[in-house]
Amino acid sequence: MTTEENQFEDDIEEIFDELPTLKSVAPFLALAGNVHWFRTLGEDPDRETVQIARAYAEALGFPNAEPGFLGDWEEAADAAENTNINSAAWEAEEQLRAAITDDALAVLDEQTLEMVMTHVAQGVSEAIEQGATEAAQELRIFDEEFVRATSGAAVQAAYQAALAAMTGAEEDHPFVLRFQLFEKGRWPIGIIGNSFLIF
């Protein structure tokens, strides 16, 4: 570890000790590090997974979006490519992200928040990438984009869920529910029309 990295770790420890707002982040990181990422991709969902998916769609403002569970990587890749970055669901998530970031900035300065979220991303990235790599091997997916797409989505979900945790969001917050779908071994791709597509 470089001197710079050691200094970063020391600074982070000091921040976590000094700010009670961040007490929820350490347990979250422990949880995220133990998630069996992507272990149920393409499988039939259990009832709890369907319930979480419906709760997420409703909480985001799309109660008519029915969960659609995709069976293979080709379908998932097509769905990811067709997810419109300016869709209503994407806009709703962006508004939520901006609102929850503002909530965090009400108790933390911008530099501290950036340091904490860098720490979160670093804390989960290795486990996520390893899970994606193992899933690719198990499912015999030889597309390099698979690991990038799934890992990127999972790191983003962890980032958003950490923000939700540190701002005291309720359990029915969309970012909390989205992370729960990843906990169930899934990749929630997005809402297209009246379907919430999940691999």
User: How many H helices and E strands in the chain?
Assistant: 8, 3
Question: How confident is the model at residue 1, as a pLDDT?
Answer: 53
Which domain, by its residues, includes 90? 24-198
Bigger pLDDT: 179 or 12? 179
Is 142 contained in some domain? yes
> For position 130, what pLDDT does the model report?
94
DSSP annotation string for 104-152: HHTTS-HHHHHHHHHHHHHHHHHHHHHHHHHHHHHTT---HHHHHHHHH
What mean pLDDT value characterizes the chain? 88
**Residue 62 lies inside a defined structural domain of this protein:** yes
What pLDDT, on a 0 to 100 scale, did the predictor assign at position 116? 84
pLDDT at 196 exceeding the cut of 90: yes
pLDDT tens for 123-154 read 899 999 999 999 999 999 999 899 999 999 99
Percent with pLDDT over 90 in the chain: 61
- What pLDDT was estimated at residue 18? 65
Confidence at residue 117, expressed as pLDDT on a 0 to 100 scale: 86
Residue 87 lies in a domain: yes
Q: Which helix H or strand E contains 157, and what residues bound it?
A: helix 144-166
Kindly state whether residue 144 falls inside one of the protein's structural domains.
Answer: yes
CA geometry: angle 50, 149, 189, nearest 5 deg: 25
Q: Is 128 left (phi over 0), alpha (psi -120 to 50) or beta?
A: alpha
Say yes or no to pLDDT of 2 above 70. no
Pull the structure tokens for residue 49.
């997974």
User: Does position 50 have pLDDT exceeding 70, yes or no?
Assistant: yes
Q: Is the pLDDT of residue 84 over 90?
A: no
> Within a domain: residue 13?
no
Asked whether residue 7 is domain-assigned, the answer is no
Comparing 157 with 82, which gets the higher pLDDT?
A: 157
pLDDT exceeds 80 at position 112: yes
For residue 93, tell me if it sits in a domain: yes
Does pLDDT of 10 surpass 60?
no
Looking at the 3D structure of the chain, how many domains does it have?
A: 1
The secondary structure of residue 172, as a DSSP letter, is T
| pTM for the whole structure | 0.87
Q: What is the mean pLDDT of residues 2-10?
A: 56
In a domain, 8, yes or no: no
